Structure 1
Amino acid sequence: MTTTDNFILENATLILPDRVAPQGWIAVSGGRIAEIGEGGAPERGIDVEGDYVLPGLIELHTDHIESHFIPRPHVRWHATSAVMAYDAQIAAAGITTVYDSLRVGSDFDLAALNNDDLWQLSEALANAKASGYLRAEHRTHLRCEISSSDVLEQAEGFAARYPVHLMSLMDHTPGQRQFRDIAIWKTYYMGKSDASDEEANKLISWRLDLHERYAAPHRAALVDFARKHGAVLASHDDGTAEHVAQAVADGVAVAEFPTTLEAAQASHAAGIQVMMGGPNVVRGGSHSGNIAAEALAREGILDLLSSDYVPASLLMAAFDLPRRVPDIGLPQAVATVTANPARAAGLDDRGALAAGLRADMVRVRLSGDVPVVREVWREGRRVA
């Protein structure tokens, strides 16, 4: 990584908050954007050859770190190595601020993080950050499985060691939310395991019992926990008006992946930022049969995008949206991965190309319709 310095990017196509400037320049000083102009730069700088320059992307929800740490079922990779590989891929995708989604609450899925895994990854992330090894700025997103028996214990243990910036309230119980159709849950689970139909049915019964015992009290306790720690709160897989009403009562700021148009409309109307997955945009629909992100964009109720499980999808989706939805211009689409997530997370020092903000920037060239990241700067330092 280069050190912070004073420099100018010139001959750039700037994606500004309100327009695309086809020939512009940006002056950087002390890790901040000092000045922006159009036309010729006041002095010679780095010629970006007409490429797009846009703000560094802000990722609020990605569990991609798990695929580096658990590359195969029952296989745990070295935590520090996994963190460094994950961070490199995040930065290379143009993401300069990332909320690492760490699951708290034991799960039936043996491919998921368990309690020991959580502490290994958390320590590796903290050590890498303290050592100055990380390219992106990493913040914490706890993905809380409310029907898990130990979710409160794990959340409290984590907060005793590390800061908590964002929390989502998840419930993957068969028959709930994303898996409101139990048949879909069985297809999903049995496709990931060697379980028989009888074993799946036993698991369903066990999960339903956990939900009955823990979901309501744990959700209430986690809402209080988020307030105590000043964490932004997100709901997850809302599907009904009742789900959204509960989210409003809990003070939720972000609706992650609503499964129906009804829930997305109600969330947006209530001032809750609606998040959908970048892969959903790029693939043209949800892999689990829920509402398509494009449909919400056409309704004017898509606020945020998340790369979810493919870091490169964040930038791809931002450039793809204007082609899929003519009413959305490139600046508006880019805002779903920059300014809007910054605002949702309470970060007022980044998310746009504007004087005084952090010099988090991405240089992009199109290869056909595919955006290719060529350079990335975080606070004026080149990190990719």
Structure 2
Amino acid sequence: MRDFAVSDSPAVQAQLDRLAALSLPQGRLGLDPVRELLARVGNPHERLPPVFHIAGTNGKGSTSAFLRAMLEADGKRVHQFNSPHLVRYNERIRLAGELISDDALADVLAEVLDAGSDIGASFFEITTAAAFLAFARTPADACVVEVGLGGRFDATNVIARPAVCGIASLGLDHERFLLAPEDGVPEHPMARIAFEKAGIVKPGVPVVTQAYGTEAEAELERAAMVAGAPLHMRGKDWDATAGATIEYRDGHGALTLPLPTLPGAFQADNAALAVAMLRHQDQMTVSAEALAVGVLDAQWPARLQWLGDGPLTKIVRPSRVLLDGGHNPDAGRVLGDFFRKLNAPIHAVSAMLDAKDAGGFLAPFADRLASFTAVPLPSHDSYPPADLARIASEAGVPKTSTAASVADALRALKGEGPVLICGSLYLAGEVLRANEEWPD
């Protein structure tokens, strides 16, 4: 399955077409191809400003958003690398606070693709090299880099000496890759997930984590000890509680911070992790005032996002439409917690990749749904709508159906109440495009 991308710019689209033609690295593991690719374009990853490197199952994107907002509130220029994009490929690469321009993107993609034509590099390896090349050529004070998948073999893991590594929440996702049989790795599923994420731990570099179960924590402690990396784990070296405010504390002292404007109680945890990462590195300082401003200013689309007025939402007006790209059991639990605070029946519209655990995703909030409509996810390896509707019914949703599109599903739900569109970031991107809400 590929990360399909389109652009209104002919110059960018020409390079995206070249990306789409790349073969998939079936069964290939390791960082040698991306290292060779980077060497051919001058090793730009070795010329970056201080890097904040973030892995995790859920929350790493939101944590990166909080980091950027906090750093920018302190007056710093910040590069950011995230994946996947939602509407425009440009969203993956932010240069000194601004999305990369079409002209700059076309040029850097062409340069990297030309350099690596015979390497067999993947879509994500090319994208990572292009981002690092753009970063190295644009002055900035910091880089916020999100792992794409796993950590150990992720292309971003070529960064040898980040300022700090962060690991967000852990859960089961991408099992076909992250739990694939391999000699010398942990057998317990959560220990294996932690092992893969801990692949970003570097000698002497502080690593800041959330709190986890016994198996995952033991694996992270082992990885930090082997690398000689200072480990700062939530509940041991730092902590935070959320009520009317976030009460944060660590060895440097205590802070009272506002709650995030991003919806969902879990966002306080992601904001606290960002604070902990900033306070457990020594390459730059960020004021307490900037931390508080960043908590409020951070934006992260398609995560419990109430959509605004647009061509899609007007179909069900005055009902509101909530968009969420979560797609694993932990994301389902977040939705369940969120919906228990809403005193209204929820009508879900969903599509999911067939590699995902649809039943595990739906189970935590199926009892909050009045109906579930499955739709196709064109150009991706996804569940047939009838199969996804059956899984929803087996999870306990009282009324399930299928529709040919999100718009058709919304027409059938007009006047029924709040609507959740969920199950895939690819679906979320199509919805944002159709509703003319462009992530900036």
- Please report the TM-score for the alignment, with normalisation by the length of structure 1: 0.33
Structure with greater contact order relative to length (CA < 8 Å, sep ≥ 6): 1
Identify the structure with the greater strand proportion. Answer: 1
